[in-house]
Amino acid sequence: MKFKIATLAALATLSVGAGAQNITGAGATFPNPIYSRWFSEYSGSHPGVKINYQSVGSGAGIRQVSQKIVDFGASDGPMTDQQLSESKVKLFHIPTVLGAVVPVYNLPGVNKELNFSPEVLAGIYLGQINHWNDPRIARDNPGVNLPDHQILPVYRSDGSGTTYIFTDYLSKVSPDFQSRIGRATSVKWPVGIGQKGNEGVAGMVRNSQFSFGYVELIYAEQNHMSFGQVKNSSGKWVKASTDGVTAAAAAAIKTIPADYRVSITNAPGPNSYPIASFTWLLIPQHFDDANKGKVMVDFLRWMLQHGESEAASMTYAPLPKPVADRVAQTINQIH
């Protein structure tokens, strides 16, 4: 046994010596858990290849890959046209998995799952709906005894993809929200309290009665938080799930452009969960170091074949089959 390990180690060092390939990436924090797992599994089965990923945030990821500081980037929001034109390298957006944002709340005495229509979600964060027993909330939740108490909206104080997805959705469903607040990784909230990170928002909501917040689906599931249902564009109440998110991506397939820069919030289809989004790897179309490019392409193929199947077990929604097929085509263009 010991001998085996020793030979393996020797082989590993040998192959490192022969074709060692270090690739560095940086970007979004949301997909970090699954990226870390993918990169370490891929490195395990491909000795000599080491992919190092730093979850420094989407904004920093975009900056670093544009400045050629890292080999690839990752972002929860697509790059803007201006960012793409300013980048020193031509980049592909490669969708990897999908995430969703869910409304969480702390309402003592209410055990039933609450329903939130898009108008209510926007109204709460615009400060227009400020009491729990507002008729607009009551209308969607018949039979629930809503307290006459002020709502405390909680938002992400740090810039985040979560906020981007949420505000992107609210901007689509509420013209008022779009004109007064708009979509971005951090926005000017007229009301509420800001907390850092998913854990900050979740902690605040858990500890404060009558509060309301939004967190990543993964975070809510892993921490066994209850969350509300949202009305989708078909008028159906949907509770977020990885299936619902993949359904939203599949329903939006016709609108996905060639460069994958698309927002799938408020997607059509009766099963689609409306507050969902792709997360992307930002891969240079051309690698100066041909060997690096080869490894990157090989990794992306591996990701589509093996990685995607692991997504659901980590509560990430995998790409729908048609999208994965298209991505496989795109990968072939990387050189």
Partner 1 sequence: MADNETPQNISVPLVTVARKQPEPPVTPVSAVSEDASGIRAFLRARGSANAADRGFAGLMLLGALSLFVIVVLIVWILIQKSQLSIHAFGFHFFRSSNWDPVNGDFGALPFIFGTLVSSLLALLIAVPLSLAVAIFVLEICPIPLRGPISFLTELLAAIPSVVYGLWGIFVLVPLIRDKVGPFLEKTLGWTGLFVEPNFGVGMFTAGVILAIMIFPVISSISRDVMRAVPNHQREAALALGATRWEMIRLGVLQNARIGIVGAVILGLGRALGETMAVTMVIGNHPDISKNLFNPAHTLSSVIANEFSEATGDLYLSALVEIGLALFIVTIVVNAVARLLVWAVTRGNTAKAV
Binding of partner 1 by 81 (CB under 8 A): no
Binding of partner 1 by 127 (CB under 8 A): no
Binder of partner 1 out of 15, 159, 225, 301 (CB under 8 A): 159
Q: What does the block give as tokens for 258? A: 């060639």
Binder of partner 1 out of 182, 255, 305, 322 (CB under 8 A): 182
CB of 194 to partner 1, least distance (A): 3
Q: Please calculate the CA angle 247-252-255 and round it to the nearest 5 degrees.
A: 165
Binder of partner 1 out of 188, 224, 235, 257 (CB under 8 A): 188
Binding of partner 1 by 186 (CB under 8 A): yes
Binding of partner 1 by 108 (CB under 8 A): no
Binder of partner 1 out of 15, 21, 32, 83 (CB under 8 A): 83
At 257, the amino acid letter reads: P
Residue reference for tokens 């589509």: 304
Binding of partner 1 by 200 (CB under 8 A): yes
Contact, 204 vs 211, CB < 8 A?
Answer: yes
* Percent helix, percent strand, percent coil in the chain, to nearest 5: 45, 20, 35
Binder of partner 1 out of 15, 32, 157, 234 (CB under 8 A): 157
Residue 60: closest CA among 28, 95, 33: 28
Contact, 112 vs 163, CB < 8 A?
Answer: no
H or E segment and range at residue 288 = none
Residue 117: closest CA among 168, 169, 152, 182: 169
Binder of partner 1 out of 185, 198, 232, 242 (CB under 8 A): 185
Beta bridge partners of 97: 279, 318
Binding of partner 1 by 207 (CB under 8 A): yes
Binding of partner 1 by 204 (CB under 8 A): yes
Judged by beta carbon, residue 157 or residue 241, the one nearer partner 1 is 157
Binding of partner 1 by 56 (CB under 8 A): yes
Binding of partner 1 by 60 (CB under 8 A): yes
Phi/psi class of residue 202: alpha, beta or left (left: φ > 0; alpha: ψ in -120 to 50)? Answer: alpha
- What is the chain's Cα-based Rg? 22
CB of 155 to partner 1, least distance (A): 9
Contact, 49 vs 295, CB < 8 A?
Answer: yes
Binding of partner 1 by 74 (CB under 8 A): no
Binder of partner 1 out of 65, 129, 152, 240 (CB under 8 A): 152
Residues near partner 1, by CB under 8 A = 56-60, 62-63, 80, 83, 150, 152, 157-161, 181-189, 192-196, 200, 203-204, 207-208, 211
